[in-house]
Amino acid sequence: MLEKIQAWDDRMLMRLAKRHKPWLNKIMILVTTTGNNGYIWFALCIPFLVMNRWRLTGFTMLLSMGVASLTGEITIKHIVKRVRPCNKAYDEYLLIKNPPHYSFPSGHTTASFAVSSVIYFMCPMWFVPVCLYALLMAFSRLYLLVHYPTDVLAGIFIGSVCGALSIPLSAYIPFFSF
């Protein structure tokens, strides 16, 4: 079963790699770079944290990224230890340096969907643009051959669950419940 999943992952990535376009390469590199270390998502938290009315939402977004990182980056990646596709891809298709960590799940995607799910529940008027950017971030990881499709799908699931679980968790932190 795992061999069939791996074969499907490999086929999907090679189809993407063969469709690289110079203009799209630049966009995907830019999008994925904004997700490095969660920069875009931390930046999104700032206006929420500054305004009293939205402070709990901003804090919950930060909490969701922390829970997602603990779950995906620190725990699951080191249990699964999946090698990235860029380590076996042809050099002609590689557009960015190989990331140093394991592949499963996608950390960029996990963080993106952790924040996106918090936005869905706590600030739905911003959900569509945030979710679209999260999807673009997830696609960029595939396009740049640094993750398999199943890494990204797992990141969507784990991030969404971590984000949803962070909402009731944030209510237990008294400093931000005013």
Cβ neighbours for 29, distance < 8 A, ≥ 6 positions apart: 95, 96, 140, 144
Burial readout 133-163 (b: 16 or more C-beta within 10 A, e: otherwise)? bbbbbbbbbbbbbbbbbbbbebbbebbbbbb
Question: What's the pTM value of the predicted model, to 2 decimals?
Answer: 0.88
Nearest CA to 123 out of 68, 70, 174, 47 is that of 47
Contact 69, 159 (CB under 8 A): no
Residue 89: what pLDDT? 59
Mean pLDDT value of segment 132-136: 96
Res. 178: pLDDT tops 50: no
Determine the average pLDDT of the residues in 65-72.
94
Domains located in the chain, CATH noted? 18-176 (1.10.606.20)
Cβ(80)–Cβ(5) below 8 Å: no
Q: Average pLDDT for residues 28-48, to the nearest whole number?
A: 92
Lowest mean pLDDT among 6-20, 79-93, 131-145: 79-93
Q: How far is CA 168 from CA 53, 67, 72, in A?
A: 18, 13, 20
Token couple for 61: 């977004």
pLDDT band at 133; cut points 50, 70, 90: very high
**Model confidence band, residue 13 (pLDDT cutoffs 50, 70, 90):** confident
